[in-house]
A and B are shown apart, each in its own frame.
Chain A
Amino acid sequence: NAGVMQNPRHLVRRRGQEARLRCSPMKGHSHVYWYRQLPEEGLKFMVYLQKENIIDESGMPKERFSAEFPKEGPSILRIQQVVRGDSAAYFCASSPDRSPNSPLHFGNGTRLTVT
């Protein structure tokens, strides 16, 4: 039973390039969450998606960041025109439903480095 799969594990981008982070939830899970972990900071909520819908993107910067979870395929977190401050670990989590009793299962993250 595969867990949450994220790729790539490491991503290096130059300033101004685009970064695409992918997340495949656990089997049977249709709810996906993205969190960002900056150095010396805790995990911060970015966005919550269900299949084909963005439910809450309140934690995501308004500019340059976007997320999707299409009917087929993984969820994508896209960062356009990356800046050094975007360097962080980005974690995806999934759950079978949005019940508060449903625990979130996290992937091992994508570590983005902007040079």
Chain B
Amino acid sequence: QKEVEQDPGPLSVPEGAIVSLNCTYSNSAFQYFMWYRQYSRKGPELLMYTYSSGNKEDGRFTAQVDKSSKYISLFIRDSQPSDSATYLCAMKNSGGSNYKLTFGKGTLLTVNP
């Protein structure tokens, strides 16, 4: 079993739709959870950062972490064509190697105008 599982999609939605992206993980030591956005031929850009369980909202983006289920989600409200990108979940533990990110494979999202 991979440490982090993420459905690669692709996911195609109309403009204005609510998008739900998620990852599951197996390592209970993960404490820090991130979502990155990666446009084609670019580097990952940090969108959301959450420590432990709970919700975090930033504009149209909401990140949720459920540690009991080992499940994290990213919701995008009122999706825009400019949101079309690959979304990567990433996580790290709180132990000695807390600098090391473990990524999902990414979900390719297309928002159609």
Q: Please state if A48 and B43 are interface contacts (CB–CB under 8 Å).
A: no
Q: Please state if B99 and A33 are interface contacts (CB–CB under 8 Å).
A: yes
Q: Please state if B32 and A100 are interface contacts (CB–CB under 8 Å).
A: yes
Does A65 touch B at the CB level, under 8 Å? no
**Cβ-closest chain A residue relative to B8:** A40
Among A14-54, those with CB < 8 Å from B are 31, 33, 35, 40-45, 48
Q: Please state if B98 and A43 are interface contacts (CB–CB under 8 Å).
A: no
* Total residues of chain A contacting the partner, CB 8 A: 28
- Residues of B near A6 (CB, < 8 A) are 43
Per-position 1/0 for B47-86, Cβ under 8 A of A: 0010100000000000000000000000000000000000
Q: Please state if B88 and A42 are interface contacts (CB–CB under 8 Å).
A: yes
- Residues of B near A13 (CB, < 8 A) are none
Per-position 1/0 for A64-108, Cβ under 8 A of B: 000000000000000000000000000100010010110111111
A40 to B97, CA, bound (A): 26
A43-B88 contact, Cβ under 8 Å, with A100-B31, A106-B44: yes
Contact of A45 among B6, B31, B34, B100 (CB under 8 A): B100
Contact of A48 among B34, B51, B100 (CB under 8 A): B100
Q: Please state if A56 and B105 are interface contacts (CB–CB under 8 Å).
A: no
A66 to B39, CA, bound (A): 28
- Residues of B near A45 (CB, < 8 A) are 100-102
Per-position 1/0 for B83-113, Cβ under 8 A of A: 0000010101010011111111110000000
Q: Please state if A105 and B99 are interface contacts (CB–CB under 8 Å).
A: no
Q: Please state if B103 and A100 are interface contacts (CB–CB under 8 Å).
A: no
Query: 21 A-B residue contacts at CB 8 Å?
Result: A35-B103, A40-B105, A42-B104, A42-B105, A42-B106, A43-B103, A44-B103, A45-B100, A48-B99, A48-B100, A55-B99, A56-B100, A91-B44, A95-B99, A100-B32, A100-B98, A101-B32, A106-B36, A106-B44, A108-B43, A109-B42
6 pairs of A and B residues whose beta carbons are closest in the complex: A106-B43, A42-B103, A100-B98, A42-B105, A43-B103, A108-B43
